A = this chain, B = another copy of it.
Amino acid sequence: MAQQLESYIQEHEGRFLEDLKGWLRIPSISTLPEHAGDIRRAAEYAAGQLRGMGFANVGLIATKGHPLVYGEWLNAPGKPTLLVYGHYDVQPVDPIELWETPPFEPTIRGDSLYARGACDDKGQTMLVFKAMESLITVNGALPVNVRVLLEGEEEAGGESIAAYVQEHSDRLGCDAVFICDTGMPSKDIPVLIYGLRGITYTEVEVRGPKRDLHSGEFGGIAPNPLHALALIIASLKDAGGHIHIPGLYDRVRPPTGAEQAFWRDDPLGIAETLREEMGTGYVGENEYPPLERLWARPTLEVHGISGGFVGEGAKTVIPAAAKAKISLRLPPDLRSEEVFALFERRVKELAPAGVEVSVTNIHGGEGVMVSPDSAPMRAAAAALKETYGKEPALTREGGSIPIAALFDEVLRVPVVMMGFGLPDDNLHSPNEKYSLAQFFRGIRTVASFLQKLA
């Protein structure tokens, strides 16, 4: 049976890739209203895949935002039920000029497939589909019951799926959740994720003069909202990475001894891999090991500042207003809403004379910690060992999958986070890619995982 499965996968690698490429050609950018039609097309595409495998009750679930995609295969009585989560929306593509090939024309270069969403999360979701297709075709059935629930707002705050899970948890009965939206430190180092950070994403608006002013006419007496933002941001986080928001660090959970040792020794060289990827030295709280800073410390980043003039040449404007997008990553136990309140209060305190400041909570999500000792986590570990030839490491990730925390809180079942992304996959950047080897090994791993879960 294992041999038949392997043969099927080998034989159909080309079509598996074509099915992924078809999905990648749809520019389902969830944050840009002009792509609403593409979002729907991408959702329908996923539903088509599920129907093709013989899933039942397949369809789009309307929400206040972008639709969810649902489908179920519940023909394994007595076996556990797995809820598979993924997302079909992707990040924006700017700066577009840095893409070597167009983001929505999937292109194989070297050992990778390049496209926006190639990894995050169309590639990772498609490999789960292809593992299931292979099992169903070869064996006539899946070894466990499966519900699939995809969202189209992961890159836009994920509010709709959060509302759905909270309101309709009865429709999502399961014994475990599987999220294939994480990565590995390198293609030789399988990992299982047991912790993620949460996030608070904000926009700070500073309003100064009642209109744009000329710096020759008013420079010396006028408040400058861009300068005020610089003062605020510089006071929020110093050059040593310390965030100056009273109360923020109060609830940071102390690491266990094993975590401290792992982070200090970094036996997998994860931090070094990331360092090479970013091409500079480590910046931030140097009193903590890099892995602790990435996985277990709150961090604050500015993502963009608008207002005034950034075109070619020179314009001597003092803008009437300016905005900054600022987010915090939060280790588990720091609640997003509470951190937003601390942040908002601090930003308002820091506003210099002459300006008014308002702070908007764009979106938030909680961090999560799961136990590695559940049966589903053990099945995933065994599957990784089988395909990668070594025990997976237990690691955290610094990113946020708020829905993981929500599944944990609402469904109260183990959440398995096993993904096949690599640090150089350029998530959220130009030239996003997915390793072909990881895609195909991911299919084999997930097929094995489902079998071991049975």
Contact = CB atoms under 8 A, between A and B. Distances in A.
A215 B354 contact: no
A177 interface: no
A279 interface: yes
A428 to B, nearest CB: 5
A316 interface: yes
B221 A275 contact: yes
B309 A219 contact: no
Interface in A156-185: 156-157, 183
B283 A352 contact: yes
A39 interface: no
Interface stretch (A16-24, A49-57, A292-300, A379-387): A292-300
A313 B281 contact: no
Contacts of A95: 212
Nearest to A229: B230
A31 interface: yes
B239 A352 contact: yes
Given A219-B398, A283-B353, A318 B304 contact: no
A327 interface: yes
A271 interface: yes
A430 B316 contact: no
A301 interface: yes
Contacts of A239: 231, 352-353
Contact of A211 (B220, B285, B294, B430): B430
A201 B315 CA distance: 9
A305 B303 contact: no
Contacts of A277: 213, 218
A279 B221 CA distance: 11
Contact of A314 (B31, B210, B214): B31
A223 to B, nearest CB: 4
A301 B219 contact: yes
B308 A304 contact: yes
Interface in A241-266: 241
Contact of A31 (B310, B315, B398): B315
Contact of A315 (B271, B303, B315, B423): B303
Contact of A213 (B223, B307, B429): B429
A305 B310 contact: yes
Contacts of A352: 239, 283
A91 interface: yes
A302 interface: yes
A262 to B, nearest CB: 16
26 contacts: A94-B311, A155-B314, A155-B315, A199-B216, A201-B316, A209-B278, A209-B280, A210-B280, A213-B277, A213-B278, A214-B427, A214-B429, A215-B329, A218-B277, A219-B294, A219-B398, A220-B284, A222-B284, A224-B283, A226-B304, A230-B230, A282-B354, A304-B309, A304-B317, A304-B319, A314-B327
